[in-house]
């Protein structure tokens, strides 16, 4: 599983990817997926999950999940709703949508119970050690101070990535380790993989790019070239 690299594209709520533009961006990711041997997962804004899941072959993730009950939980983005919309999984505990620690384990269990995969986000090696025990399919390292800043974590804090990878593997974590925050170009991706990750979690560098196909291709080719023979 870990030999095939992963790129998760988080659309967030950037204006460039709202409404029908989410479909356009998702189709760009799908076109790249057809020619580059890299797993590309798309995470559109919540209102577009169903439309995107119905329109492209790429797996679709929700950007978050909530602990509301089935029934009387107005506004909650519950796992059952995410699944019914056609998504394959969810980001969880992103720096912009943190989940209180007591609820994380419950949410992961709930998501898995309905057949959804989880990309769990962490900020520090200490947090990675705790979250690795939840055995999610993906574990993403994102220092919040670098998110959207244009300076890649692989350049600014390479020791953080190395420490997080070491801690996760020491804890017998078997999923894919990703890194995010400031990943802008192919060189950022290559440096990240050299530090031990299996892929990247990206957002603004793609969503705000003038040429979506070109930027996704650049990042995906860097991941493909770094794959183990």
148: left (phi over 0), alpha (psi -120 to 50) or beta: left
HEC string of the chain? CCCCCEEEEECCCCHHHCCHHHHHHHHHHHHHHCCCCCEEEEECCHHHHHHHHHHCCCCEEECCCCCCCCCCCCCCCCHHHHHHCCCCEEEECCCCCCCCHHHHHHHHHHHHHCCCEEEEEECCHHHHHHHHCCCCCEEEECCHHHCCCCCCHHHHCHHHHHHHHHHHHHCCCCCEEEEECCCCCHHHHHHHHHCCCCEEEECHHHHCCCCHHHHHHHHHHHHHHCCCC
Task: From the candidates 39, 127, 142, 218, give the one annotated as an active-site residue.
Answer: 142
Q: Which of 94, 96, 117, 127 is catalytic?
A: 94
Q: Look up 142 and say whether it is catalytic.
A: yes
Q: What are phi and psi for residue 2, nearest 5 degrees?
A: -75, -15
Q: Has 94 been annotated as catalytic?
A: yes
Residues known to be catalytic = 94, 142
């Amino acid at each position: 599983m870990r030999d095939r690299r992963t790129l998760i594209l988080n659309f967030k709520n950037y204006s460039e990817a709202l409404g029908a533009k989410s479909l356009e961006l998702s189709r760009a990711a799908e076109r790249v997926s057809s020619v580059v041997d890299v797993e590309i997962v798309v995470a559109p804004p919540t209102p577009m999950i169903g439309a995107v899941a119905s329109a492209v072959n790429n797996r679709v993730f929700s950007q978050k999940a909530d602990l509301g009950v089935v029934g009387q939980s107005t506004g909650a983005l519950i796992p059952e709703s995410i699944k019914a919309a056609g998504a394959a999984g969810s980001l969880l505990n992103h720096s912009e949508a943190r989940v209180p620690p007591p609820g994380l384990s419950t949410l992961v269990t709930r998501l898995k119970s309905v057949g959804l995969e989880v990309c769990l986000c962490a900020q520090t090696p200490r947090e990675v050690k705790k979250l690795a025990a939840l055995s999610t399919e993906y574990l993403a390292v994102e220092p919040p101070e670098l998110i959207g800043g244009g300076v890649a974590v692989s350049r600014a804090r390479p020791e953080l990535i190395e420490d997080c990878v070491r801690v996760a593997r020491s804890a017998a974590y078997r999923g894919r380790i990703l890194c995010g925050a400031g990943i802008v170009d192919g060189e950022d991706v290559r440096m990240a993989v050299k530090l031990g990750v299996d892929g990247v979690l990206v957002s603004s560098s793609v969503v705000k790019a003038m040429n979506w196909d070109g930027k996704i291709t650049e990042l995906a080719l860097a991941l493909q070239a770094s794959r183990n023979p």
